């Protein structure tokens, strides 16, 4: 058997932690036995949970600290007080080559700052980008940046194209990465100068890692014709929150429609298989695990409000990008 993948787990971040974290570790462990978990947090809370789980003793080690980053902490205050926190120690284990990737459901701003304080940027990358999975008709999109950088220049967007494509190839090895720039129109003359200039750079300088497809509008993100969508963090974050809100609205309205009348309940019963497939397609837990790209080690942000299944999926993302040699792919292709 190959050497196990080592994942550093911040067990204290996010809602209902460490309960959901340890349950998520258990779910992931049952489908991926060749993974070792370095778990950081309050041993008094973690040990009883993991002893009751099906996680083998040979597959984890607990590093005790009762210091944790709170959701209300500012990134600066978290960095100042956090050198003995579960989040800081989990990222520090990457720095010390004791883990291959880190995952946390804690404070997003604090995670960014602590990661940047402990880890180096990949050479020639100026800014990190927050990327995440986003479903489309044919599979999955990688969308970035989702909020790490409000303003971006042409080089940043070109770098995001490379990093997003490397991530896509790590997660979906058999698929071709197809890059598009998010814009207000598909015509070449649409958009501001930074977008137009980036379009020209990507269109003229071919890259073996991806195929450039031009612009894409927001209403075509889920069409499946492209799978790596690049934008600045301001636009990307608004697009993400809009999509999340729309998905929640659709599922709640459907639930209401199928439960308020006898006809609705009968329709739901007759279409239960299709409804389950539809619900699964929009289930955010199945796409949980945003990646902070640009650092020389993988840092994964799990949604703070997700449950154990969502956390297990963020661990699956860790496993895939380690096996897919994400960092090496970026380094090899960066301009």
DSSP state of 268: H
Is the distance from CB of 41 to CB of 10 less than 8 angstroms? yes
| Residue 240 buriedness (CB in 10 A; 0-12 / 13-18 / 19+) | middle
More confident residue, 35 or 206: 35
pLDDT for 23-69, tens place per residue? 999 999 999 888 999 999 999 999 999 999 999 999 999 999 999 88
How crowded is the C-beta side of 61, counted as CA atoms within 13 Å?
10
Q: Is the model's pLDDT at 279 over the cut of 80?
A: no
pLDDT computed for residue 277 by the predictor: 62
Residue 281 pLDDT grade (very low, low, confident, very high; cuts 50, 70, 90): low
Distance between CA 101 and CA 8 in Å, rounded? 6
If asked whether residues 139 and 244 sit together in one domain, one would say yes
More confident residue, 23 or 290: 23
* Token representation of residue 250: 């659709």
Residue 243 pLDDT grade (very low, low, confident, very high; cuts 50, 70, 90): confident
The candidate with the shortest Cα–Cα distance to 38, out of 77, 4, 75, 76, is 4
Q: Is the model's pLDDT at 269 over the cut of 60?
A: no
pLDDT for 138-189, tens place per residue? 888 999 988 888 889 999 999 999 999 999 988 888 889 999 999 988 777 7
If asked whether residues 160 and 114 sit together in one domain, one would say no
* Mean pLDDT to the nearest integer, 251-275: 61
Give residues with Cβ within 8 angstroms of 244, minimum separation 6.
Answer: 284
User: What percent of the chain shows pLDDT beyond 70?
Assistant: 88
* pTM, full prediction: 0.84
- To 5 degrees, how large is the angle CA 189–CA 142–CA 150? 60
Domain count, the chain: 2
If asked whether residues 161 and 265 sit together in one domain, one would say yes
pLDDT for 85-136, tens place per residue? 999 999 999 999 999 999 999 998 899 999 999 999 999 898 999 998 888 8
Collect contacts of 190-194 with beta carbons under 8 A, ≥24 apart.
190/215, 191/215, 194/152, 194/153, 194/154, 194/157
Distance between CA 277 and CA 202 in Å, rounded? 37
Q: What is the CATH number of the domain that holds 190?
A: 3.40.718.10
Is the distance from CB of 103 to CB of 302 less than 8 angstroms? yes
Is the distance from CB of 134 to CB of 287 less than 8 angstroms? yes
pLDDT computed for residue 267 by the predictor: 59
pLDDT computed for residue 63 by the predictor: 97
Token pair 């071919």 in the structure block, residue? 206
If asked whether residues 113 and 40 sit together in one domain, one would say yes
If asked whether residues 193 and 280 sit together in one domain, one would say yes
Is the distance from CB of 178 to CB of 262 less than 8 angstroms? no
pLDDT for 134-150, tens place per residue? 888 888 899 998 888 88
If asked whether residues 135 and 81 sit together in one domain, one would say no
Distance between CA 209 and CA 176 in Å, rounded? 8
If asked whether residues 179 and 281 sit together in one domain, one would say yes
| Residue 27 buriedness (CB in 10 A; 0-12 / 13-18 / 19+) | buried
Distance between CA 298 and CA 296 in Å, rounded? 7
Distance between CA 335 and CA 316 in Å, rounded? 29
If asked whether residues 101 and 167 sit together in one domain, one would say no
Distance between CA 170 and CA 160 in Å, rounded? 15
If asked whether residues 66 and 195 sit together in one domain, one would say no
If asked whether residues 84 and 225 sit together in one domain, one would say no
* Domain limits for position 271: 131-286
How crowded is the C-beta side of 56, counted as CA atoms within 13 Å?
10
CB atoms within 10 A of CB 310: 23
Alpha helices (H) in 8-84, listed in sequence order: 19-31, 43-52, 75-81
Phi–psi pair at 235, nearest 5 degrees: -65, -40
Q: Give the chain's mean pLDDT.
A: 87
If asked whether residues 83 and 164 sit together in one domain, one would say no
Is the distance from CB of 147 to CB of 130 less than 8 angstroms? yes
If asked whether residues 62 and 44 sit together in one domain, one would say yes
**Inter-CA distances, 148 with 114, 194, 232, Å:** 14, 18, 9
Among 94-108, 190-204, 275-289, which stretch is predicted with the lowest mean pLDDT? 275-289
Is the distance from CB of 167 to CB of 146 less than 8 angstroms? no
């Amino acid at each position: 058997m190959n050497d196990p993948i080592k994942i550093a787990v911040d067990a204290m971040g996010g809602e209902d932690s460490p309960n959901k974290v340890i349950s998520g570790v258990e779910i992931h462990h049952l489908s991926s036995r060749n993974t070792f978990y370095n778990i950081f947090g309050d041993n008094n809370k973690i040990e009883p949970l993991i002893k009751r789980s099906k996680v083998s003793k040979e597959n984890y080690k607990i590093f005790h600290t009762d210091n944790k980053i709170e959701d209300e902490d500012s990134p600066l205050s978290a960095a100042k007080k956090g050198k003995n926190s579960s989040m800081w120690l989990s990222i520090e284990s990457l720095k010390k080559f004791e883990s291959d990737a880190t995952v946390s459901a804690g404070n997003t701003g604090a995670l960014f700052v602590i990661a940047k304080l402990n880890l180096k940027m990949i050479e020639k990358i100026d800014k990190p980008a927050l990327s995440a999975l986003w479903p489309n008709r044919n599979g999955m999109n990688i969308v970035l940046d989702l909020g790490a950088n409000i303003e971006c220049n042409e080089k940043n967007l070109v770098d995001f194209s490379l990093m997003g494509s490397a991530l896509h190839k790590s997660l979906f090895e058999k698929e071709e990465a197809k890059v598009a720039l998010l814009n207000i129109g598909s015509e070449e003359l649409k958009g501001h100068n930074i977008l137009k200039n980036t379009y020209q750079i990507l269109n003229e300088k071919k890259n073996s890692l991806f195929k450039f497809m031009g612009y894409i509008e927001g209403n075509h993100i889920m069409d499946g014709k492209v799978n790596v969508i690049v934008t600045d963090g301001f636009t990307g974050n608004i697009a993400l929150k809009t999509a999340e809100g729309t998905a929640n609205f659709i599922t709640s309205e459907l639930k209401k429609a199928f439960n308020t009348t006898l006809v609705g309940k009968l329709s739901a019963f007759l279409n239960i298989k299709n409804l389950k497939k539809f619900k699964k397609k929009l289930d955010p837990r199945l796409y949980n695990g945003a990646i902070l790209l640009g650092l020389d080690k993988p840092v994964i942000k799990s949604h703070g409000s997700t449950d154990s299944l969502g956390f297990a999926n963020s661990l699956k993302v860790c496993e895939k990008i380690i096996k897919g040699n994400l960092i090496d792919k970026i380094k090899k292709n960066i301009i």
